[in-house]
Chains A and B, each alone.
Chain A
């Protein structure tokens, strides 16, 4: 399985680099989908079938379609012609350096990778699917956060309806 791990990690990283390097926004969007697919495969390798499938269903299948939809309505050629200025360069390097510093700080703490978690599917005995267990956990232990998220989504939906109305009565 280590071979597959490297294969799909490479796919995810390759897609991630593609997002940044490509000048064509459509290519960037497609690279991002590639990266999501690699990530989904990694989840599935960890026996997290539901998370892996949702990664494809929600991110690659729904959100990126909307991204692509918007990008296609833009003038892609103008986007490709746009020059990069020194301000972009400084800002981007600042963010990159901050991120690398963060990663180094976290990794140098020494106890990374030592924790031995049991897989969700192992904890309740073999044979039960991860879907059942995630469902059970969501509606028992974590029912309150689920309710909060549901209300949040409802607020967002109502907000969209209000904003997209041309004139409020």
Chain B
């Protein structure tokens, strides 16, 4: 029974379906000749391929896959490895040591050596653990961190394609929603390890993350009030033309209104960064894995690659957090003073501008990562009650006050 390509005459739509897919108009003129390779797959998985090909544009999927592979797997993951190296070198410099400098030039290949070591080590599972959750937990810390990178715009446009994997209208909310799932990995690791140190680490982490999520969420509300926008791409475009949130020195930002609004934005930034430190469990807030009290906290019982996944998850969360901070407060991919800024979100961007924008984004992100690292080796660890007091008594109230302040300023100005 041969397969005959045929025009789509039948509509799979149920009578009451909402007419919401704007792409349909584009697709309706397709003839059997230009349907490409899609019909070839149909006899293999008739229902699945029909469902997929009738309602999706393949070029969107292919573009998304390329962006995911390049941005997440070829850039973010190596950056995770490199930031581990940077952490060790910077900490060494701060403590007047040398740090890893033997593997490759400047010790740059140390990360590769560490990775091989982690893979080759014995993957030991203690006898008393709950096996299923013990295995699930490392994945649950790593995956949300990488998922959140989907909505962060890492460039303007390249060859007409927006440099963001998913251009959502609820960008920051998506990041907070997905990263709030990270806590399950830590909680389950602590619980399933069946060890009191792990368990205490897990419990601490849960309460810490819940406490700081509130101020993290509240801290960016002033920014959203000012830009009137939840789409990260449009926020960056606005900042590219009218001044970064923290540097309103060009465009419409260069006015009394811009300068006054920079005050609540700066307060937001301080709360945001501090909460980000707490959310990513970095010093001075790394209570869940406080060595002196809890051995290694929630990952005490882990070894080999499972331990490495916790480690990488922490750094991945730090990189995405830096990306979000850059996007919200430092104009994302845009150069200062409106240089090379596209006129609007839909304007065409020459390919070399696009490349420069991507480079600018990653330069800024690396800057923020270095800031994270330097802070880690500068400040001592907080005590647990101090941490909770700081979150609930100070940052929560300041963030609420800041929202009210911004609303009043916007109403007056």
Question: Which A residues form the contact surface with B (CB < 8 A)?
Answer: 1-4, 26, 30, 33, 46-47, 49-50, 53-54, 56-57, 60-62, 65-66, 68-69, 72, 113-119, 121-122, 126, 129-131
Contact = CB atoms under 8 A, between A and B. Distances in A.
Contacts of A53: 170, 173-174, 177
Interface string B312-353: 000000000000000000000000000000000000000000
Nearest to B230: A131
Interface stretch (B14-22, B58-66, B264-272): B14-22
B206 A57 contact: no
27 contacts: A1-B51, A30-B133, A30-B184, A30-B188, A33-B184, A49-B170, A53-B174, A54-B173, A54-B177, A57-B173, A60-B177, A61-B213, A62-B210, A62-B213, A65-B183, A65-B184, A65-B206, A65-B209, A69-B207, A72-B191, A72-B199, A117-B18, A121-B20, A122-B19, A126-B22, A129-B231, A130-B169
A56 B16 contact: no
A61 B22 contact: no
Contacts of B133: 26, 30
The 5 closest A-B pairs by CB, nearest first: A61-B180, A3-B51, A129-B169, A57-B177, A56-B177
- Residue among B18, B206, B213 with the most chain A CB within 10 A? B18
B222 to A, nearest CB: 16
B52 interface: yes
B202 interface: yes
A127 to B, nearest CB: 10
Interface residues on B, range: 35 or more
A72 B203 contact: yes
B202 A72 contact: yes
Contact of A57 (B18, B52, B180): B180
Interface of B: 12, 16, 18-20, 22, 47-48, 51-52, 55-56, 130, 133, 168-170, 173-174, 176-178, 180-181, 183-184, 187-188, 191, 199, 202-203, 206-207, 209-210, 213, 230-231
Identify whether the interface residues of B are mostly helix, strand, loop, or mixed. Answer: helix
A1 B56 CA distance: 8
Contacts of A119: 18, 20
A50 B210 contact: no
A50 to B, nearest CB: 6
B243 to A, nearest CB: 23
A157 to B, nearest CB: 12
Contacts of B174: 53
B173 A60 contact: no
- Residue among B52, B177, B188 with the most chain A CB within 10 A? B177
Identify whether the interface residues of A are mostly helix, strand, loop, or mixed. Answer: helix
A68 B186 CA distance: 12
- Residue among B178, B184, B188 with the most chain A CB within 10 A? B184
A66 B210 contact: yes
Contacts of B191: 26, 72
Given A62-B210, A62-B213, A72-B191, A49 B168 contact: yes
A134 B226 CA distance: 18
A56 B56 CA distance: 25
B204 to A, nearest CB: 11
Given A72-B191, A72-B202, A130-B169, A3 B48 contact: yes
Nearest to B210: A65
Nearest to A24: B130
Contact of A2 (B51, B184, B213): B51
Given A2-B12, A50-B173, A129-B231, A60 B181 contact: yes
Given A2-B12, A57-B177, 8 more contacts: A1-B55, A26-B191, A60-B181, A68-B206, A114-B16, A116-B16, A130-B169, A131-B230
A117 B20 CA distance: 12
B367 to A, nearest CB: 29
